């Protein structure tokens, strides 16, 4: 016995249905594309925001370091003046302990190590080129300008310190007393009046070098004050946008 299955007629789509399906597919793909772009843009904006906040954090760290170095540089000026006063005095009236303490402290040199990684990364990624960061970019540019000037002076100061330690110090100290003092912390020496006489030419050479030191320290302080100003302006601007 044969079984006959009824045949269902196949629905033939109209052109309008094909067009509608194509439009729906195209719309879904397009919306997905726009949604992905929006998601990526939002993610990039969040990364930029986080990196800019790190810039503020690093600048705050720089400010702490700069304050300490500025104090050291102001002290260096005072030490230079104290040493000049010693050189102007009669050798047998000079407090030996105070004289060598000034010389040892004068040799202390602090190097400024700024946290510039976040600033460099933000600049490389073009975050400072965005219109909303235009004012911040101007502050960072000024900060970097004074930092570069500071770094130039730092090299000059280090070269000068080498001259002082290797050329001048041997002419104005007793090697045994200096060796005893040039330690960290310095060894105590007897407190007595009088140091070995210093040659006139050595005094003259030392005074010129000390004058140069004070000029360089003035430059350091001026640069740090400028950097401090622009760092604070940058931090203030970044925190206002949080």
Does residue 239 register a pLDDT over 80?
yes
Write out pLDDT tens, residues 163-220: 999 999 999 999 998 888 888 787 888 788 999 999 999 999 999 999 999 999 999 9
Kindly report the number of other CB atoms within 10 A of residue 88's CB atom. Answer: 9
The pTM of the full predicted model, rounded to 2 decimals, is 0.79
Give the model's pLDDT for residue 44.
Answer: 66
Token pair recorded at residue 120: 């460099």
Cis peptide before 185 (omega within 30 of 0): yes
How many other C-beta atoms lie within 10 A of the C-beta of residue 132? 11
Distance CA 77, CA 71 (A): 10
**Is residue 65 over pLDDT 60?**
yes
Strongest mean pLDDT among 10-14, 39-43, 178-182, 227-231? 227-231
What mean pLDDT, rounded, does the chain reach?
86
Mutual orientation of helices 134-163 and 117-124 as an angle, nearest 10°?
140
Contact status, residue 103 vs residue 83, Cβ threshold 8 Å: yes
Distances (CA, A) of 172 to 104, 145, 204, 222, 234: 13, 38, 11, 31, 47
Report, as an integer, the average pLDDT of 2-17. 56
More confident residue, 34 or 65: 65
Q: Tens digit of pLDDT for each residue in 79-134?
A: 999 999 999 999 999 999 999 999 988 888 889 999 999 999 988 888 888 888 89
d(Cα 191, Cα 28) in Å, to the nearest integer? 90
What is the reported pLDDT for 1?
Answer: 45
Highest mean pLDDT among 34-38, 74-78, 124-128: 74-78
All residues at 6 or more sequence positions from 166 whose CB lies less than 8 Å from its CB, including other chains: none
Mean pLDDT of 16-44: 64
């Amino acid at each position: 016995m044969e079984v006959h299955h009824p045949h269902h007629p196949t629905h033939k789509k109209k052109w309008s249905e094909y067009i509608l399906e194509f439009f729906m597919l195209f719309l879904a793909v397009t919306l997905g594309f726009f949604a992905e772009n929006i998601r990526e843009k939002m993610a990039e904006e969040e990364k930029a925001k986080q990196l800019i906040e790190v810039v503020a954090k690093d600048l705050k760290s720089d400010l702490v370091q700069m304050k300490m170095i500025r104090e050291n540089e102001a002290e260096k000026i005072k030490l230079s003046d104290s040493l000049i006063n010693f050189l102007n005095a009669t050798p047998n009236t000079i407090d030996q302990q105070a004289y060598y303490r000034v010389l040892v402290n004068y040799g202390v040199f602090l190097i400024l190590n700024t946290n510039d990684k976040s600033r460099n990364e933000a600049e490389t990624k073009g975050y400072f080129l965005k219109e909303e960061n235009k004012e911040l970019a101007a502050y960072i540019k000024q900060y970097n300008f004074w930092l570069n000037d500071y770094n130039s002076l730092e090299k000059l100061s280090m070269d000068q310190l080498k001259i002082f330690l290797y050329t001048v110090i041997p002419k104005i100290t007793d090697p045994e007393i200096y060796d005893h003092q040039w330690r960290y912390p310095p060894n105590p020496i007897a407190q007595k009046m009088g140091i070995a006489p210093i040659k006139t030419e050595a005094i003259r050479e030392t005074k010129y070098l000390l004058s140069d030191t004070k000029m360089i320290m003035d430059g350091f302080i001026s640069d740090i004050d400028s950097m401090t100003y622009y760092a604070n302006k940058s931090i203030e601007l970044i925190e206002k946008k949080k």
